[in-house]
Amino acid sequence: MSGSSRLLDTQGSAASIAPEFLVSPDMLDAVSPSGDRGGMVLGSGLQGEPLTISALRPAPTRIVLVGGLYLARQVALRAMAVGAWVVVATGRPAAWQVLQKAAGEGPNGQPAPLVQIRRLSPVELPRPSEDGPLLVVHDGGPTPQELFPPRTPWQTTVYVLPYMHPQAGATANAADLVLLQRLPVGQAQLAARIWHLPPRMVQELTSLADDQIVALGRNLWKPLRLVTTPKEQQILGPVRRGD
């Protein structure tokens, strides 16, 4: 795994400052932004402390999500709220229409270009920048192809894996950060082989609640509870595991 624990921070634990973004009041109201870091609030720790994920940063970044659509769409929604362009490559576009609806319409009455839903084939991507970072969501099943590898600063590619598959090991090991929802025993054992997890961590993966995830990275094992606002629940529904 290529990442580090610096991708996940407790609020106020680091001195770096991320860029500011202009967002609509409605979108800002839909999330729980961090007060002193530019990262996205992902959840809360065991003591209730907010935990942020530095998903949009001046380095090519890979994130793997193992679980359902809820978590993937929540990450994308929060990226939108801090000013990111979001491109979703998926074989199930209807499942992602809620993001376009949340983004609203442009002056011409057409869907706002902040969110683009594409097929699972190579396309030209918007050019990311500090003022306009790019989040590419690759929702292509348990063994994704490398269609949109992050190659430039301020581009993050998120690979949505509905479950652990033996052929996903290369994608998983290349990730800077992995977010895991509860896994069945067999998949947890596969995760143990991929990331060399001890039995205690394997057991923890099989017993997570529906609103819990584990953030995994180099020198990082952080269980946390997802934080979902009432406005997010209106857009995405209740917190759940699976599709």
Give DSSP secondary structure letters for 122-160.
--PPPPP-SSS-EEEEEE--SS---SS---STTEEEEEE
**Does position 6 have pLDDT exceeding 90, yes or no?**
no
Instruction: Look up the pTM and report it.
Output: 0.84
Distance CA 211, CA 145 (A): 29
Mean pLDDT of the 208-220 span: 92
pLDDT given for residue 45 in this prediction:
87
Mean pLDDT of the 211-219 span: 92
Per-residue pLDDT tens over the stretch 161-179: 999 999 988 899 899 999 9
Contact between 170 and 158 under an 8 Å Cβ cutoff? The reply is no
Q: Where are the alpha helices (DSSP H) in 35-161?
A: 69-81, 97-103
| Length of the chain as a residue count | 243
**Does position 150 have pLDDT exceeding 50, yes or no?**
yes
Residue 108's contacts (CB-CB under 8 Å, 6 or more residues apart) are none
Distance CA 124, CA 134 (A): 12
End-to-end CA distance of the chain: 26
pLDDT given for residue 10 in this prediction:
52
pLDDT given for residue 26 in this prediction:
46
pLDDT given for residue 162 in this prediction:
93
Please state at what angle helix 185-195 crosses helix 199-206, rounded to 10 degrees.
140
Domain ranges of the chain: 5-236
Q: How far is CA 21 from CA 47, 56, 171, in A?
A: 29, 12, 30
Paired with 12 in beta bridges are: none
Contact between 194 and 172 under an 8 Å Cβ cutoff? The reply is yes
Per-residue pLDDT tens over the stretch 72-128: 999 999 999 888 999 999 999 999 999 988 887 767 777 677 899 999 998 889 999
Fold of 5-236: Rossmann fold (3.40.50)
